[in-house]
């Protein structure tokens, strides 16, 4: 009886030891440590700081061929808010397209080109693998991110761009406002194309921001304070 009791106690101690080691591993893993802090809340889902870190990491690879470390306190203090806003814009666009069954999707070739762009940011496959493992990113995650990004870009250039209306009066007013700075005091006829492109970009951003504010309310998105 005494022997059986000692064996039972030993098993319990071993189980607690295993649990403690697993706990230490979890709190030390850089990616997993951020899963629990919700910073964006919707009726059917929630997004955490970790989601924003991964988004920021892949966005810099995709857009600038730049490797950043979004696990640092500096990133959290200086870049988190802007990256969360970027994440929200892309998420809302993708969700809107899905809900409304809009035929906006990239081709397989476009997705492959985007994935290759990210992969070419690394000097070797081993460097890429190690970096992705540290962020707990899989190949499927990369492909899904690229797909979402391309959908977002197509959404901007179609749905939102269609809302932009440019009149001759607005072109002339825009030229007069920025004549001495953006257009270097050149005659209107000489920079007319540049004036139109500049005004189009500005109006596109304005229309998109209106749409974002509307969609936040419609999709009942709650922005949580980071603690």
Q: What local confidence, expressed as pLDDT, does residue 227 receive?
A: 84
> What's the CA gap between 84 and 196, in Å, rounded?
30
In this structure, are residues 224 and 41 in contact, taking their beta carbons and an 8 Å threshold?
yes
- Put simply, whether the predicted model's pTM sits higher than 0.75 gets the answer yes
In this structure, are residues 94 and 152 in contact, taking their beta carbons and an 8 Å threshold?
yes
Q: What local confidence, expressed as pLDDT, does residue 29 receive?
A: 45
User: What is the span of the domain harbouring residue 219?
Assistant: 165-227
Domain end: 163, 180, 197, which one? Answer: 163
Please tell me which residue, 47 or 10, carries the higher pLDDT value.
47
120 and 64 housed in the same domain: yes
In this structure, are residues 87 and 55 in contact, taking their beta carbons and an 8 Å threshold?
yes
Instruction: Report, as an integer, the average pLDDT of 204-210.
Output: 96
Q: Which residue, 154, 128, 158, 126, is CA-closest to 141? A: 128
Q: pLDDT grade, residue 22 (50/70/90)? A: very low
142 and 209 housed in the same domain: no
pLDDT at 24 over 50: no
Separation of CA 135 from chain center: 14
Q: Which residue, 158, 138, 152, is CA-closest to 110? A: 152
pLDDT at 188 over 50: yes
Average pLDDT, the chain: 88
In this structure, are residues 84 and 40 in contact, taking their beta carbons and an 8 Å threshold?
yes
Q: Which residue, 219, 87, 212, 70, is CA-closest to 148? A: 87
Domain end: 145, 163, 181, which one? Answer: 163
Q: Which residue, 38, 63, 62, 64, is CA-closest to 50? A: 38
213 and 111 housed in the same domain: no
In this structure, are residues 38 and 221 in contact, taking their beta carbons and an 8 Å threshold?
no
Count of structural domains within the chain: 3
93 and 154 housed in the same domain: yes
Instruction: Report, as an integer, the average pLDDT of 175-187.
Output: 96
Quickly tell me which residue has 């949580």 as its tokens.
224
Instruction: Report, as an integer, the average pLDDT of 152-178.
Output: 95
- Structural domain contains residue 184: yes
In this structure, are residues 196 and 166 in contact, taking their beta carbons and an 8 Å threshold?
yes
Separation of CA 205 from chain center: 18
Q: pLDDT grade, residue 19 (50/70/90)? A: very low
Helix (H) or strand (E) holding 176: helix 168-178
152 and 194 housed in the same domain: no
> What's the CA gap between 114 and 152, in Å, rounded?
13
The number of residues in the chain equals 227
pLDDT tens column, 104-158: 999 999 999 999 999 999 999 999 999 999 999 999 999 999 999 999 999 999 9
Quickly tell me which residue has 């969609």 as its tokens.
215
């Amino acid at each position: 009886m005494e022997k059986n009791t000692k064996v039972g106690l030993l098993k319990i101690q071993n189980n607690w030891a295993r649990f403690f080691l697993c706990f230490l591993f979890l709190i030390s893993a850089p990616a997993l440590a951020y899963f629990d802090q919700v910073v964006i809340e919707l009726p059917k889902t929630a997004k955490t700081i970790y989601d924003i870190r991964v988004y920021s990491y892949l966005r810099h690879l995709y857009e600038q061929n730049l490797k950043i470390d979004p696990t640092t306190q500096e990133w959290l203090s200086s870049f988190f808010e802007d990256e969360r806003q970027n994440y929200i814009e892309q998420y809302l666009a993708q969700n809107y397209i899905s809900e409304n069954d809009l035929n906006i999707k990239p081709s397989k070739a476009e997705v492959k080109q985007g994935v290759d762009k990210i992969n070419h940011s690394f000097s070797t496959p081993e460097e890429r693998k190690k970096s992705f493992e540290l962020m707990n990113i899989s190949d499927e995650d990369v492909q899904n991110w690229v797909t979402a990004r391309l959908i977002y870009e197509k959404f901007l250039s179609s749905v939102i761009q269609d809302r932009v209306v440019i009149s001759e009066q607005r072109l002339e007013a825009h030229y007069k406002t920025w004549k001495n700075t953006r257009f270097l005091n050149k005659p209107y006829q000489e920079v007319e194309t540049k004036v139109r492109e500049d005004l189009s970009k500005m109006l596109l951003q304005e229309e998109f921001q209106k749409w974002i504010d509307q969609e936040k309310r419609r999709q009942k998105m709650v922005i949580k304070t980071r603690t």
